[in-house]
Amino acid sequence: MRLLPLIAILATLALPAHAVGDDAPAVDAPTVDTSGPAITVDGRIEPAEWEGARHITDFRLTQPLSGEPAPYATEAWVKSTPDGLAVAFRNTQPEGVPRTRTRTRRDEGGQLDRVNVIVDFDGDGRTGYDFMVTLADGIADEVITNETQFNNDWDGNWKHATSEDATGWSAEVLIPWYIAPMGKAEGGTRTIGLYLDRVLGSTGQRMSWPVASFMRPRFLSDFEKVELPAYSQSLLAVTPYVVGVYDNLSGDSDFDAGADIFWKPNGQTQLTATINPDFGQVESDDLVVNFGAEESFFSDKRPFFTENQGIFNFGLLIDNSQLIYTRRVGGAADDGSGPGDIDAAVKLNGSLGGLNYGVMAAEESGDAGRSFRALRLNHDFENQNVGLLATQVLRPFLDREARVVGIDHRWQPSDALTVTSNVVGSDIEQAGQTTRGSGATTVIDYEMGDGWRQQWLAMHFGDDLEVNDFGYLGRNNLNYGHWQLSRRLTDRPRDSAYASHDYRGRIIGIDNDDGLRVQRQLRLIRQSDRRDGGSEYLQLNLNAPGYEDLLTRGNNPLYRPGNFGLSWERIRPRKGAWAWELYTWVGSGGLEGNDEIGYSIEFEPTYYFSDALSAFVGGYAEYDPDWLVWQRDNLVGRFEQRSVQFNAGLDWSIGQRQELRVKLQTIGLDAQLTEAVQVGADGRAVAVAPTGANEVDDFSLRNLGFQVRYRYILAPLSDLYVVYGRGGYMLDEFSVDPQEQLVDSFRLRDSEQLLVKLSYRFEL
């Protein structure tokens, strides 16, 4: 196995400095007395346990972002212990203020009574770890990078508990020191960045300490710097798994086994490895119908790729762009035989002095197997941070080697101004040919005071820039710029249905590298928090005429007249037994411009039988009078498109250890041809008869995704899954009513499987 020598080398590098010929203890001696009983995480705040802890009472409103004192008394205690960072909350909630006790799956979130502990273990504003606990003792954990970018794919092992009484509720959290890599402590103490908040589910009010908000361009950098006694923990955890899959169509069965390994020898270093990793689908992706030129993006839930992945985050400031898109590993094989088979992968994170580093490698097996490599470095200075990310992908089946290097920089010259930039270059060798490309992005955020804010953003991605061997970039050949002015209003009258408004106006310009005008847009946005705990989002886009240069996949760009889009979204959290979400859109497009108007509407109500059992049913309908679908070369079909979608599901939390989830998605779509056009060299569309070489037909499709998933939580990060899944997709080259396609989708049976997976984490 090609990766095993690399694992051995990285394991040697990961050894603590005293590990060779030295029996020095793994715990740094604290400079202050932390004697006393160990903290029992049971949700009950015992004064003796929390003696000597820092006591925090100055919580203030940050949602709405007024900075006013918290309307309900909130207290917190913070204490550094040998077992981890301990935090306790006491939340006063008098009678008459509703309490939301809805039980949720891990990372499900929702508008609930909850508390958040967010820790930047190095205090440098680079990476934060969010630990959220609800009143019902549900949890979520997230990694925060680039100041405000949250990712909940990561799951950590930490302790939590809650309790409640007549006057309020309490929560206790214990976060082990091995949860994340962190710099070496100096002088027996560690300075961390810390943020605590409490959210009132019935109103959506957020009370925080310090006054920091992810609605601002800077969030992690505004955390309170807290000096604590320093401790270090080592950990070796092995999580073996076994999985069995029965295919109900072929009657075949398949069994597999493997293991994930997590080793933290000291406070500065973490090594994660996986051998024959299991990538069976216990989490189903949402159904997506995509006839466009840009690839659909999906998040990654695979444990190895979510564990301490934050250091490898390198976004390009547009949509989901990133230089490492982990779903490439084990993705579609280069020979078209299906998903790639991963032999093993390894990841090393740590710090040396002021330098943070990360190394990652993965190997796929077989003649079409690929090799993935990544190196990440970054260094924090007084008011700026500089980093480097280099990746390499070897694809022998395609005789291709892809190398990408990026440098990112964040500069904060003042409390009001933040400048974030990066530069990227790619070098691709394939079949003896070399292609080099480059790109760069810059965003400047300036907070002017009194709720006013400006943002300037510029980006350039050259026509030859290629990062998608390992990364994700929706498109290259792009020059983008925008200027945005925004104003936040929090002084709404008490009798208003709204707690705050955030108004934004943006002017956007996009050209490609050939100087072709792709987009000129005026965007107006109002984002509002409501006093019922819900939210609203209103957006208007006004587009000037421009050229669609991706539709024909590198052939002639298509000229499109001006158009508009207006959307409105309303989310109302649970009130009594009901919660619901509503989304509407109306707009124009295609070649008709504003002469033809389309629309879409989606409504999804949820009914709560109890705090532990809920069910939802949702419907979606769309009408597009001039839908453009590329056929081949410069041939484009114009269709009148109608589609409907039906979603339904059930979530049942059976005690604290068991979950049952049912999820159904179906889609029916019909596209009736109105005209076939050839795109000329000048970008103008010329109608042609849809026959012969220009043949274009009506088409329709149906899609089904159905999953029943049972989970039994054996221990932290140890689970038994029993998953039944069925799905199918059918494309017809003729018109069928979308409602009929939706009904027929229930008969689809391209795949039907029963999967049983057992994994158990052993901590040594």
- Give the pLDDT confidence of 269-297 residue by residue, as tens digits: 889 999 987 655 677 778 888 889 899 88
pLDDT-derived band at 3 (thresholds 50, 70, 90) equals: very low
CA-CA-CA-CA torsion for 92, 95, 96, 99, nearest 10 degrees? 60
Strands (E), 655-750: 658-679, 685-688, 699-715, 718-732
Biggest alpha carbon distance in the chain? 86
| pLDDT at position 279 | 58
Average pLDDT over residues 548-571: 97
- Please check whether residue 288 is in contact with residue 296, taking contact to mean a CB–CB distance below 8 angstroms: yes
101 domain residue, yes or no: yes
Q: How far is CA 700 from CA 227, 363, 622, 642, 696, in A?
A: 62, 40, 14, 9, 13
pLDDT in tens, 421-452: 999 999 999 999 999 999 999 999 999 989 99
| pLDDT at position 630 | 97
- Gap between the Cα atoms of 485 and 456, Å rounded: 9
pTM for this entry: 0.88
699 domain residue, yes or no: no
Alpha carbons within 13 A on the beta-carbon side of 86: 28
Between 301 and 619, name the one with better pLDDT: 619
pLDDT in tens, 618-671: 999 999 999 999 999 999 999 999 999 999 999 999 988 999 999 999 999 999
- 3-class DSSP state for residue 743? helix
Length, in residues, of the chain: 764
286-295, 568-577, 736-745: which has the minimum mean pLDDT? 286-295
| pLDDT at position 174 | 97
Phi first, then psi: give them for residue 304, nearest 5 degrees: -60, -40
- Gap between the Cα atoms of 545 and 520, Å rounded: 8
Closest to 47 measured CA to CA, from 170, 196, 158, 138: 170
- Gap between the Cα atoms of 15 and 270, Å rounded: 10
- In this structure, how many other beta carbons lie within 10 angstroms of the beta carbon of residue 52? 15
Average pLDDT over residues 722-750: 96
- Gap between the Cα atoms of 584 and 567, Å rounded: 6
- Gap between the Cα atoms of 325 and 327, Å rounded: 6
Q: Which two tokens stand for residue 64?
A: 């709405």
Helix ranges restricted to H, 350-395 = none
| pLDDT at position 318 | 85
pLDDT in tens, 200-222: 999 999 999 999 999 888 999 99
Quote the DSSP letter at residue 396.
G
- Gap between the Cα atoms of 560 and 519, Å rounded: 10
56 domain residue, yes or no: yes
Residue by residue, DSSP assigns 577-608 as TEEEEEEEEEEEETTTEEEEEEEEEEEEEEEE
pLDDT-derived band at 304 (thresholds 50, 70, 90) equals: confident
Average pLDDT over residues 475-479: 95
- Gap between the Cα atoms of 113 and 171, Å rounded: 11
153 domain residue, yes or no: yes
336 domain residue, yes or no: no
Average pLDDT over residues 692-716: 95
Identify the burial level of 561 via C-beta atoms within 10 angstroms of its C-beta, where 0-12 means exposed, 13-18 middle and 19 or more buried: middle
Average pLDDT over residues 32-55: 83
- In this structure, how many other beta carbons lie within 10 angstroms of the beta carbon of residue 162? 24
Average pLDDT over residues 229-248: 92
- Please check whether residue 344 is in contact with residue 4, taking contact to mean a CB–CB distance below 8 angstroms: yes
Place of tokens 């997590």: 262
pLDDT-derived band at 9 (thresholds 50, 70, 90) equals: very low
Kind of pairing, strands 269-275 and 253-266?
antiparallel
Strands (E), 267-367: 269-275, 342-352, 355-364
CATH number at residue 222: 2.60.40.1190
**∠ at Cα 728 (722, 731), nearest 5°?**
170
48-57, 264-273, 584-593: which has the minimum mean pLDDT? 264-273
Q: Which of 145-159, 313-327, 349-363, 526-540 is the most confident on average?
A: 526-540
The identity of residue 18, as a single letter, is H
136 domain residue, yes or no: yes
- Please check whether residue 666 is in contact with residue 702, taking contact to mean a CB–CB distance below 8 angstroms: yes
- Gap between the Cα atoms of 166 and 147, Å rounded: 38
- Gap between the Cα atoms of 654 and 648, Å rounded: 20
pLDDT in tens, 368-397: 999 999 999 998 888 888 999 999 999 999
65-74, 103-112, 321-330, 545-554: which has the minimum mean pLDDT? 103-112
Percentage above 70 pLDDT, the chain: 95
Helix ranges restricted to H, 21-63 = none
- Please check whether residue 181 is in contact with residue 349, taking contact to mean a CB–CB distance below 8 angstroms: yes
Identify the burial level of 361 via C-beta atoms within 10 angstroms of its C-beta, where 0-12 means exposed, 13-18 middle and 19 or more buried: buried
Residue 29 has pLDDT above 70, yes or no: no
Residue 20 has pLDDT above 60, yes or no: no
Residue 224 has pLDDT above 70, yes or no: yes
Closest to 195 measured CA to CA, from 112, 132, 113: 132
What is the distance between the terminal CA atoms of the chain, rounded to a whole angstrom? Answer: 26
- Please check whether residue 43 is in contact with residue 171, taking contact to mean a CB–CB distance below 8 angstroms: yes
| pLDDT at position 186 | 82
Residue 31 has pLDDT above 70, yes or no: no
- Please check whether residue 521 is in contact with residue 544, taking contact to mean a CB–CB distance below 8 angstroms: yes
Closest to 9 measured CA to CA, from 325, 306, 369, 373: 373
Phi first, then psi: give them for residue 122, nearest 5 degrees: -100, -10
389 domain residue, yes or no: no
Place of tokens 């270093």: 269
| pLDDT at position 424 | 98
Q: What value does the mean pLDDT of the chain take? A: 91
Q: How many domains does the chain have?
A: 1
**∠ at Cα 152 (149, 154), nearest 5°?**
115
Range of the domain at 178: 31-232
Residue 36 has pLDDT above 70, yes or no: no
38 domain residue, yes or no: yes
- 3-class DSSP state for residue 487? strand
Place of tokens 């269709």: 639
Residue 437 forms beta bridges with which residues?
426
The identity of residue 91, as a single letter, is N
- Please check whether residue 364 is in contact with residue 330, taking contact to mean a CB–CB distance below 8 angstroms: yes
Q: Which two tokens stand for residue 87?
A: 């935090």
| Residue 130 CB contacts under 8 Å (≥ 6 apart), including other chains | 116, 117, 118, 140, 141, 142, 143, 144, 150
| pLDDT at position 317 | 84
pLDDT in tens, 86-110: 999 999 998 889 999 999 888 887 8
Quote the DSSP letter at residue 179.
G
Alpha carbons within 13 A on the beta-carbon side of 126: 31
Average pLDDT over residues 711-737: 95
Residue 131 has pLDDT above 50, yes or no: yes
